[in-house]
Amino acid sequence: MEPIIVAKDLKKFYRTTNIRIKALDGVDIEILPGEVCAIVGTSGSGKSTLLSLLAGLEPPTAGKIFIKKRAIHKMTESELVDFRLQNIGFVFQSFNLMGTMNAVENVALPLMFKGISRGTRTQAAKKLLGKMGLKQHFYNKPAELSGGQQQRVSIARAIITKPEIIFADEPTGNLDSHTSVQIMDIMTNVARQRNATLVFVTHDPEKALYADKIIHIIDGKVDRIDINEQKLEGNI
């Protein structure tokens, strides 16, 4: 099986006034189609930077990134926007929901960008939110939802277009332990049911156990890659 995501000698440097900060320093990884992959590391290790580069949210300083054999490191911003819309869903730690929109409108937003009619996208969003256990919260705005409910809305928004790849940056970082388990169950179950590739960042070794592959990042480098034969299975 050929990998769906490939990074080669990936580097990312940031400059402050007098200092060059090395966030990533020669990362090489491959992720297979349908694989659930965890990127693990402490704060400042470069794990979130790696995810942002893989998702095309920011460019590498050097190196190459291929997704579905497409060289995303060579794409223009407009090409990246279209590529993400067609292939990628993203779940943020801070939810990144539109505060003026209700749950249905937030989830339906990617379908609006794809030109889907209002009635069709509203119906699809309601159906998906219902499966997420949020039928009673269709018309609540983010401020009226708990952290766990907001993250469910965020996940629904990420998967409404049925992307082949889902990226998630510390998706349980702002949640309590019980809600964190529920969110991990939802994400991994959705990925496996749809045979989608899920790549998530975490600092928590227990959350990493949901993954098939665990990539350990230390000081901007891949320290080791573990294949997890005893991965946790969701309960929903």
Q: Which domains does the chain have, with CATH numbers?
A: 33-60+74-227 (3.40.50.300)
C-alpha 210/C-alpha 230 separation (Å) is 9
Q: List the structure tokens of 229.
A: 């034969």
Structure confidence at residue 82 (pLDDT): 94
Q: What is the pLDDT of residue 151?
A: 94
* 19, pLDDT greater than 90: no
Grouping H, G, I as helix, E, B as strand and the rest as coil, residue 195 is coil
pTM of the prediction?
0.92
Report whether pLDDT(17) > 80: no
Task: Give residue 233's pLDDT.
Answer: 67
Q: Are 205 and 43 in contact, with CB atoms under 8 Å apart?
A: no
Q: Report yes or no: 36 and 195 within 8 Å, Cβ to Cβ.
A: no
Res 31: pLDDT: 97
pLDDT beyond 90 at 18: no
